Amino acid sequence: MSTDRIPSLKISQYKKSLWILAILITISSAVYQRLTGPTYPIRGSVTLESSVVPFKLLRSETTDRDVSITLSVSDTAIGGYVKYKRYRSHDEWTQTPLQRSGETLQAFLPRQPAAGKIIYYVYLVEDDTRLSLTGDEAVILRYKGPVPATVLIPHVLIMFLAMLFSNRAALEALDAAGKPKKLMLYTVAFFLVGGFILGPAVQKYAFVEFWTGFPFGYDLTDNKTLFAMLGWLFAWFKNRNNHSSRMTIIFAALLLLAVYLIPHSVLGSELDYTQMEPQTD
């Protein structure tokens, strides 16, 4: 092998390692956001007398179907019920029994409009023992409209690419000999399309409105998208033409990473039930 190829091979391997690191950071942050979000199902198990009952309680559902609360309970001496009402409403609590079918206990929660929420508890009962699956903490379930895959999948993929190129641009900017400007432009382009074209389309399908962040509302998902975009526009401005500011690229990437780590759907769209008539059992 010619020795004059060694430097170029080392550079190639170095660039490849940076891409691998950027991918790992991106995937890790995406997994963290997914697992810590308020719409991720609550999973666990409880022990009633001598029976161990695993459970999975949904915290997100679409408006086109009722929510199924389904538990696998082989012990026929165990029954139960679900207690629920619309979240932040003037409703009285509604109690519905868990119906048994073989080794399964099941109840249904009524569907709600987009951005509607239900707060609920699931109880198991055996003789004089009553046990809440989640203790004193209620489960809050939010409904959203169905989003077509033709809109949702491109949105998710492009936002992933925006995050990937953002992380890669920061790693490139950390190298004094790096050239992060092109990566910066890809980041801005992907983030603009994913966050401000496809993002509002997803929001419209899911929660009726295109945008519920500043200045029209307090939706944290919209607002964190806005702040992250402003950070990257600031980086673009400071690096336009022949100007160079590596620190602004690193700052923008860290800002995007920070807001991306905020769980998805925190302070999201929420229907105000206090403006509606209370529901009765």
Give the pLDDT score at 28. Answer: 92
- Indicate if the pLDDT at residue 2 is higher than 50: no
Give the model's pLDDT for residue 82: 97
103, 70 Cβ separation under 8 angstroms: no
The predicted model scores a pTM of 0.81
Average pLDDT rounded to a whole number, residues 12-20:
88
Whether the per-residue pLDDT at 155 is higher than 90: the answer is yes
Contact 169, 183 (CB under 8 A): yes
pLDDT of residue 216: 76
Q: So where are the chain's domains?
A: 3-36+147-260, 42-144
Say which CATH topology domain 42-144 has: Immunoglobulin-like (2.60.40)
* Digit-coded pLDDT (tens) for 25-35: 999 988 888 77
Instruction: Specify the pLDDT at position 275.
Output: 62
**Rounded mean pLDDT, 256-281:** 69
pLDDT band at residue 278 under the 50/70/90 scheme: low
Across the range 150-171, mean pLDDT stands at 95
Cα separation of 232 and 226, whole Å? 10
pLDDT for 27 equals: 93
Q: Which strands sit side by side in the sheet containing 99-101, from one edge to the other? A: 67-72, 104-109, 99-101
> Do the beta carbons of residue 85 and residue 273 sit within 8 Å?
no
Answer whether residue 228 shows pLDDT above 70. yes
Query: Which has more confidence, 266 or 86?
Result: 86
Residue 187 has pLDDT above 60, yes or no: yes
Of residues 262 and 78, more confidence is placed in: 78
Give residue 13's pLDDT: 86
Beta strands 139-144 and 60-62: pairing type? parallel
Cα distance between residue 226 and residue 91, in whole Å = 36
**Average pLDDT taken over every residue of the chain:** 87
Question: Looking at residues 163-172, what average pLDDT do you find?
Answer: 96
**pLDDT above 50: residue 106:** yes
pLDDT at 256: 93
